[in-house]
Amino acid sequence: MNINEYMEQVGRQARSASRAMAKADTATRNRALLLIADAVERDSALLSAANQRDLDAAASAGLAPAMVERLALSPKAIATMVEGLRQMVALPDPIGEISNMKFRPSGIQVGQMRVPLGVIGIIYEARPNVTVDAAGLCIKSGNATILRGGSEAIHCNRALAAIVAEGLQQAGLPAHGVQIVDTVDRAAVGALITMPQYVDVIVPRGGKGLIERLMKEATVPMIKHLDGICHVYIDARADLEKALPIAFNAKCHRYGTCNTMETLLVARAIAPTVLPRLAKLYETKQVELRADPEAHALLAGYPYLAEAVEEDWRTEYLAPILAVKVVAGIEEAMDHIDRYSSKHTEAIVTEDYSAALRFLREVDSASVMVNASTRFADGFEYGLGAEIGISNDKLHARGPVGLEGLTSLKYVVFGHGEIRS
């Protein structure tokens, strides 16, 4: 069987399993999650052994240390996976909920029912825990799943897939409800993203390079975000007791996350006060500041200071580097954001009521905040209970995507024999 025939078979099996997954009741889907959690716990030694084979292969292939780190499945990571599955059981079932049933003048009653999307394809690199997290979210939301993990994690993913399939079957669900693409052939990804007849949506989890490659070829819609060039704007009427901790937290809490601030905008009226005080905080973390001429002058003497160039406004550093710009006020701040933001998350710090409302309304990003750190843009912090990914697109799901993003609303009509006249 060549790779296209194999993927065709995986797709057909997923589509076929999706009907049973969709109609399974809440208790059955929750039972599957609990059975999988128990089996992961029971087989943790086996999983560690499989992971060790991947780690050994990675070492002899000379993989980058960062990649090896992501590949490792520690006993703590296994325990977290198990806990994650058990927490999903406690989440409300999104499926079957009927909302807004209203009588119409014709006599029919019309509303919407939340239903699974059908088949979800997940494409990810290294981290084997995604296999179980993503499978769990798709089971909870009544979808069938095709998981394409990184080839470097193949042994661990195979072991996890066997556990998941066993749990599904013990719960009375089809074993093909969750499948892994069991090949290291890279052509499998190309096939997966061009099978709209079998796959309803692709959720890619990985770096910008992966997403850009997929975007060029995919004919299946994706829930994705390319990058996070997030801004904090400190308004002239900001409370510095809030502005300084927020600007420090948004940059320094974690450097490698997509909701980390990459550009700081400061209103001219307050910049001479704010920037030197912020510099003292950033200096403790040796954060490099790439400043426009006006900010550069106000930061004179800062040990990690550089001149910002055009490219800095477009860069997601994912590192202790921050672009800094002085702006006239909210208008110029919003113009800058409109031009350079990746539409992920932006925050204003202000005590000005009208400025806060304008920023909330007019900034066109997935998350817009007043007086809070951009680091809050996260499914768990927002109360979604879980996160399958983040979307920077405007259609379907936008921002952190939880279980609802894996569902769709269909219209349901309760009639009493009505005909249209």
Which residues in this chain contact a second copy in the complex, by CB under 8 A? 19, 22-23, 96, 102, 104, 106, 108, 110, 113, 115, 117-118, 200-201, 221, 239, 241-242, 245-246, 248-250, 253, 338, 347, 360-362, 364-373, 375-377, 381-383, 394-396, 398-400, 408-420
CB of 32 to a second copy, least distance (A): 19
CA angle 202, 207, 380 (to 5 degrees): 70
CB of 230 to a second copy, least distance (A): 13
Measured distance between the N- and C-terminal CA atoms of the chain, rounded to whole angstroms:
56
Is 87 or 371 the residue whose CB approaches a second copy more closely?
371
Is 129 or 143 the residue whose CB approaches a second copy more closely?
143
Question: Which DSSP category does 92 fall into?
Answer: P
Closest CA to 244 of 218, 270, 210, 208: 270
Q: What are phi and psi of 300, to 5 degrees?
A: -50, 135
CB of 198 to a second copy, least distance (A): 14
CB 260 within 8 A of CB 374: yes
Is 51 or 260 the residue whose CB approaches a second copy more closely?
260
CB 403 within 8 A of CB 218: no
CB of 139 to a second copy, least distance (A): 18
CB of 354 to a second copy, least distance (A): 13
Q: E strand or H helix at 63, and its extent?
A: none
Lateral strand order in the sheet of 144-148: 178-180, 144-148, 119-124, 201-205
Helix 129-140 with 75-90: angle, nearest 10 deg? 10
Residues near 139 by beta carbon (within 8 Å), at least 6 away in sequence: 21, 29, 32, 33, 36, 145, 168, 173, 177, 178
Is 239 or 288 the residue whose CB approaches a second copy more closely?
239
Is 115 or 132 the residue whose CB approaches a second copy more closely?
115
Is 165 or 246 the residue whose CB approaches a second copy more closely?
246
CB of 90 to a second copy, least distance (A): 16
